[in-house]
Structure 1
Amino acid sequence: MSLPSIQRVLLQSIAAADPEGHFVEVDNIQAYYKIAIPQHHQILLQNQQPLPYEPHKPVILCLHHFLGNQYTWKFLMQPLADATGCHVIAYDRVAFGFTERPVQWEEGKNPYTQPAAVEFAVQLLVQLGYGTKKVVFVGCSAGAAISCSVAIRYPDLVHSLILIGPSLKPDDQGPPPVARHILGSASGRLFLKAILYRYLPFPTLYHDINSISEWETVVKPCNRVPLTLPNFYEAVSLLMKYFIPLEILPNKHVVQRYPILYITGDDDKYLHVDKHKEAFDELVAGAPENAVIEYYVLESCGHLPQDEKPQETLELVINFLRKLGVYSENRCA
């Protein structure tokens, strides 16, 4: 039996400070995730009683934005689990957070391509035992593009799509090609090291950072600690090197089959609200008359509504899922 890599041991030792975090191996990569289960399920487990078998219940999977990590879902996970009766999972995508960052891989197994990110999300669910469940995908920015791509590639897997500040057009899914080429080089890694720790999380992703509680004491550290871990800058550079935008809108006829909730902020400095409206109109053009599709703009909100307007975002998500019949019959007060 081979010994675990130094990177794995280090990631596990640092992540151990948070007892809610766990690791699972997906395609030979150690992935970091958290899971929230309904409070009434927790009570049953504490009393050593079996959980109810609810085949009609989907599982909810949250996918964070570029340069983010699962911490961004901190305000949504448990309330969403309690309100819906679903298990809610958030994980660190490859290259981010506490998930392992390989710099070598077998031929055809490059983990830093966009199609690999789609496959990784699906295989993570399988490894966690949810492979037969329908999935509510909650994706932010680039995570929304991955969510839509899962729907396109695995149409039988998806229950619904909740797109938060989504990047759906090729030009919106990442830096322009020239910038990606530079960031994917050795000199680009030096630039990343010089800029990211100083400025991450980027204030421009928010309407007003002063409205975010514990910005200095909690939010900054939770975004910056992963930058100090092995292979972070190498992984981000590799992600840029192999980045090819996902084709979402050309396959919108598949995406339109599912209930869609689209949420954006009115002060999104990364993708202006007008661009969001344009992308939304293109996404839903030609949708069936009975399609369940909703669009909301949150006031005084930037690119990350789940961070800046968590309660408003949570209410929109819960109300949307309730309309689809996803709610908890045993919601704890």
Structure 2
Amino acid sequence: MSIDWAEGRGRIEAGGKSLEWQSWGMPKADTPVIVMLHEGLGSVGLWREFPAAVAESTGCAVVAYSRAGYGFSDPAERPFPVDYMTREAVEVLPEVLRAIGAAQYILLGHSDGATITAEYAGRVKDFSIRGLILIAPHFFAEPMGLAAIASAAESFATTDLPQRMARYHADAEATFRGWNEAWLNPEFATWNVADVIDYIRIPALVIQGAQDQYGTRAQVDAIAEGSYAPVEVLMLDDCQHAPHLEDPTPVLEAIAGFTTRLQRIEAAGPVPA
């Protein structure tokens, strides 16, 4: 089942679940579609104005979807397994891309979504993927990140966070618990998927806030130093975990420039032997 671009929103079936999606712009010949994968507590709605701005700055059609258990997609089974991001990458994302039905893609992920994006690129052979945009990716657990996730549990219990999340999720508590309990599982202390970097053969743009409370510069260095494909890095000094919302102008400029360079390479065709 392919999405209906004219409708601009709807539902697709992937991973045995009905998932909500929304699009911005219309696809064009020889232009990639940008698919956005949200963070661990994100959804279609929580991208806010960013997808529209990406579509306008790049000239590409943009699609965002909510994973199972998020937004107004079907519920997800709990507890999340420690390898839930790997499973999402290899079992669900291929079906999402088939439903979108484009010939070329750029995958744009934030946080958990960035990890899923990188895992897809490293684990699934898909020549339709032309580039990766990774915002605050994580490839391994860090003590400071786990401490921040533990602090989030306290915030959920003592602040209005459940009410604020309820505007964007059908079951805010299930969404929060699924993510939070997975990361606080003792097994997550040794979680590490950095091996996928060795298998990425697609250019990447990596964006991170220097004040990111969930991950250090080591996450960025892992792919910048380990990938065989070109990696561009944008570090933003005064940003935390969501630079695309905290300081969108340089983020959008970097995404537009990266996308333009990818399209220029695509248009030039293969280098003669």
1:16-54 Cα deviation digits (max 9, x unpaired): xxx96422222331101111114xx7xxxxxxxxxx5x1
Amino acid at match of 2:131: S
Instruction: Identify unmatched segments of 5+ residues in structure 1.
Output: 1-18, 42-51, 105-109, 184-190, 202-219, 328-333
Tell me the equivalent position of 1:153: 123
- Alignment partner of 2:49 out of 71, 75, 100: 75
Instruction: Identify unmatched segments of 5+ residues in structure 2.
Output: 1-6, 266-273
Which of the two has higher C-alpha Rg?
1
Tell me the equivalent position of 1:282: 222
- For 1:238 and 1:32, the matched residues in 2 are separated by 24
Q: 1:196 to 1:321 in 2, by over 3 A?
A: farther
Q: 1:101 to 1:193 in 2, by over 3 A?
A: farther
- 1:88 and 2:52 are equivalent in the alignment: no
* Paired residue secondary structure (2:263): coil
- For 1:243 and 1:88, the matched residues in 2 are separated by 36
Number of residue-to-residue matches in the alignment? 253
- Once the two structures are overlaid, the 10-residue window that deviates more, 25-34 or 71-80, is 71-80
Tell me the equivalent position of 2:36: 62
- 1:158-177 matches, within 5 Å, as 158-171=129-142, 175=146
Tell me the equivalent position of 2:211: 267
* Paired residue secondary structure (1:324): helix
- Alignment partner of 2:98 out of 123, 126, 139: 126
Tell me the equivalent position of 1:116: 87
Asked if the contact 1:265–1:301 (Cα under 8 Å) also holds between the matched residues in 2, the reply is yes
- 1:142 and 2:125 are equivalent in the alignment: no
Asked if the contact 1:160–1:260 (Cα under 8 Å) also holds between the matched residues in 2, the reply is yes
Tell me the equivalent position of 1:254: 199
Tell me the equivalent position of 2:3: none
Structure 1 residue 236 displacement after superposition? 4.4
Q: 1:199 to 1:147 in 2, by over 3 A?
A: farther
TM-score, normalization: structure 2? 0.75
- For 1:294 and 1:83, the matched residues in 2 are separated by 18
Q: 1:83 to 1:172 in 2, by over 3 A?
A: farther
Asked if the contact 1:155–1:254 (Cα under 8 Å) also holds between the matched residues in 2, the reply is no
- For 2:209 and 2:31, the matched residues in 1 are separated by 30
- For 2:207 and 2:115, the matched residues in 1 are separated by 14
- 1:205-284 matches, within 5 Å, as 221=164, 223-226=165-168, 229=171, 231-232=174-175, 235-236=178-179, 239=182, 247-255=192-200, 257-271=201-215, 275-276=216-217, 278-284=218-224
* Paired residue secondary structure (1:270): coil
- Alignment partner of 2:246 out of 278, 284, 308: 308
Tell me the equivalent position of 1:299: 237
Structure 1 residue 199 displacement after superposition? 5.0
Give % identity.
24
- For 1:62 and 1:149, the matched residues in 2 are separated by 15
Structure 1 residue 260 displacement after superposition? 1.2
- For 2:233 and 2:22, the matched residues in 1 are separated by 28
Structure 1 residue 303 displacement after superposition? 0.6
Cα RMSD, aligned residues only? 3.8
- 1:318 and 2:256 are equivalent in the alignment: yes
